[in-house]
Structure 1
Amino acid sequence: MSVRVETDEESGVAVVTLDRPSKHNALTVEMAGRLGAVWREFRYADEVRAIVVTGAGGRAFCTGVDRTAAAGIPQPSSPYTIDDPLVAIGPKANDLWKPVIAAVEGMACGGAFYLLGEAEFLIAGEGAVFFDPHTSYGMVSAFETVHMAQRMPYGEVARMALMGSAERISARRAYETGLVSEVTEPGGALDAARRAAAVIASHPTEAVQGTVRALWSAKEAARAQALAHAPHLVALGNLPAGRQAELFTRRADGFRLR
């Protein structure tokens, strides 16, 4: 499944790792399903009181959906709905209110924002970069921008989404704009996230989960309303799959982290 889960019962911290480093931890349909199942399972795991989500290999946290794997997903003919394999990969989409910290190294882009958008806060290594290539490939960035608009100033989200693969936000800039709460030395994000999670897990879990739920209630209505528009914006605005693939191939060099 390429999703690895490790639990330290002594600290109460679980680490969820996207474990497909040769593909920059791009998500397959199977991985998306597994992530949803993991979050739901954590609802019943009383020994888990805080969670860290990260990517294996150091070169990427996640680069969104695997385009090859997603190409075969049939889509409804209606412009008001889409079948999006990533729509339920986050903890909140699966009714999990235990705190989740994201530890980011390397690239985090596109569909990775579904996960980052549902974490309580982000910790990034110095070499982390954030970007959204959708518009470069003739795709509407809808779900991603809604998630990021809850975390970043409007202008920063707009620039990242509209500039596409040409715009890279460094870990330092992400910290300055509030997307990231802490920047570590390269490779240090996971350890820092574990330490923060262990502190949180040491507190009474009812108080912690209630606080998480209260924080999310402050923005939940606006977020839900915005996400409701996303499917038909994507369906109406995306180029045909063949044209997307052509643009992706033409601009692939700009997507790679050098």
Structure 2
Amino acid sequence: MTLRVERDEESGVAVVTLDRESRHNAIDLETARELSAVWREFRFDEEVRAVVLTGSGAAAFCTGIDRGVEVPQPASPYSADDPLIAIGPKAADLWKPVVAAVNGMACGGAFYLLGEAEFLIASTTATFFDPHTSYGMVSAYEAVYMAQRMPFGEAARMSLMGTAERLSARRAYEIGLVSELTAPEELLPAALRAARTLAGFPTQAVQGTVRALWSAKQAALQQALAQAPALIALGNLPPERQADLFTNRSRTQRPRLR
């Protein structure tokens, strides 16, 4: 198991923890399957009325897809397989509120999860960045999710600047990506406090409000995501070239924090 799921039946809150601390909670195929399964399970669990999503350890919330994962792809860009496409709660048709508690780095494929949470609470040590362009990859799904959560210029800057910059928790709070900042030791208590409040309200009203909020953005989101496979197929460098860039930049580049 690469997820840790803890349920508090008294409060109605479940805590889902990405549990691959040694890999900075990067998502492999097993993690992707487990995430998809747990969101669908929560749809039928009446005892779970709100969810907190976080990562194990202090270094990272999630660093996206595990680079050790190989996903064979069909030749046609119209049939591209994205192993992360179903890891978020909304992809599983879950309309119970999800509060993301971001500890440490959140980058790349982590935005599939953050993009489908209701709101984010972050430790003051959290950072956000999107490494795709640095490694010769198109940021498509990630950029779309973040463009719906951040001012356009900020989303564009993060998506384009790759590993050269990281968005600090303070800046993320200032632009509205993060709704609350906490000391590292207060992160989970703050997220649980919010989730317990939501779980204590009449559940149909809460879920209906979640659904209403998402209806305001979902049509545009789906249209934008539909363009992603072709853009990735056209713009990505070959995998071996990506690997070379990853190795060389990881050794030499120190990101600027803003």
Give the shorter-chain TM-score range.
over 0.9
Aligned residue pairs, count: 256
Q: Secondary structure at the match of 2:78?
A: coil
The offset of 1:99, in angstroms, is 0.2
Matched residue, 2:206: 208
The offset of 1:256, in angstroms, is 8.8
Is 2:59 the counterpart of 1:64? no
The offset of 1:252, in angstroms, is 1.3
Counterpart Cα distance in 1 of 2:22 and 2:97: 29
Q: How has the CA–CA distance of structure 1 residues 186 and 209 changed in structure 2, closer, same or farther, with 3 Å as cutoff?
A: same
Q: Secondary structure at the match of 2:44?
A: coil
Matched residue, 2:85: 87
Counterpart Cα distance in 2 of 1:257 and 1:61: 19
Q: How has the CA–CA distance of structure 1 residues 136 and 80 changed in structure 2, closer, same or farther, with 3 Å as cutoff?
A: same
TM-score (norm 1): 0.97
Encode CA deviations 1:127-172: one digit per residue, 9 max, x unaligned: 0000000000000000001000110001000000110001100001
TM-score (norm 2): 0.97
Q: Is the 8 A contact 2:163 2:255 kept in 1?
A: no
Encode CA deviations 1:8-67: one digit per residue, 9 max, x unaligned: 000000000000001100000010011000000000000000000000011100000001
Is 2:44 the counterpart of 1:41? no
Is 2:163 the counterpart of 1:165? yes
The offset of 1:191, in angstroms, is 1.2
Counterpart Cα distance in 1 of 2:224 and 2:27: 24
The offset of 1:175, in angstroms, is 0.4
Any residues of structure 2 matched to 1:72-83 within 5 Å, and which? 72-83=70-81
Name stretches of at least 5 consecutive residues in structure 2 with no aligned partner.
none
Higher mean C-alpha deviation, range 81-90 or range 128-137: 81-90
The offset of 1:2, in angstroms, is 0.9
Any residues of structure 2 matched to 1:140-151 within 5 Å, and which? 140-151=138-149
Counterpart Cα distance in 2 of 1:163 and 1:101: 27
CA RMSD of aligned residues (A): 1.4
Q: Is the 8 A contact 1:64 1:112 kept in 2?
A: yes
- From 108, 111, 115, the equivalent of 2:109 is 111
Give the partner amino acid of 1:135. Answer: T
Q: How has the CA–CA distance of structure 1 residues 48 and 255 changed in structure 2, closer, same or farther, with 3 Å as cutoff?
A: farther
Q: Secondary structure at the match of 1:175?
A: helix
Is 2:179 the counterpart of 1:176? no
Give the partner amino acid of 1:110. Answer: G
Counterpart Cα distance in 1 of 2:211 and 2:184: 32
Counterpart Cα distance in 2 of 1:255 and 1:203: 46
Q: Is the 8 A contact 1:87 1:114 kept in 2?
A: yes
Matched residue, 1:191: 189
Counterpart Cα distance in 2 of 1:192 and 1:103: 8
Q: Is the 8 A contact 1:105 1:187 kept in 2?
A: no
Any residues of structure 2 matched to 1:17-56 within 5 Å, and which? 17-56=17-56
Counterpart Cα distance in 1 of 2:80 and 2:199: 37
Counterpart Cα distance in 2 of 1:109 and 1:14: 24
Counterpart Cα distance in 2 of 1:41 and 1:255: 41
Q: Secondary structure at the match of 2:5?
A: strand
The offset of 1:187, in angstroms, is 3.1
Counterpart Cα distance in 1 of 2:222 and 2:77: 19
Give the partner amino acid of 2:76. Answer: S
Q: Secondary structure at the match of 2:76?
A: coil
Counterpart Cα distance in 1 of 2:50 and 2:122: 18
Counterpart Cα distance in 2 of 1:79 and 1:237: 11
The offset of 1:244, in angstroms, is 0.3
Counterpart Cα distance in 2 of 1:192 and 1:58: 16
Q: How has the CA–CA distance of structure 1 residues 255 and 225 changed in structure 2, closer, same or farther, with 3 Å as cutoff?
A: farther
Give the partner amino acid of 2:146. Answer: M
Counterpart Cα distance in 1 of 2:94 and 2:171: 30
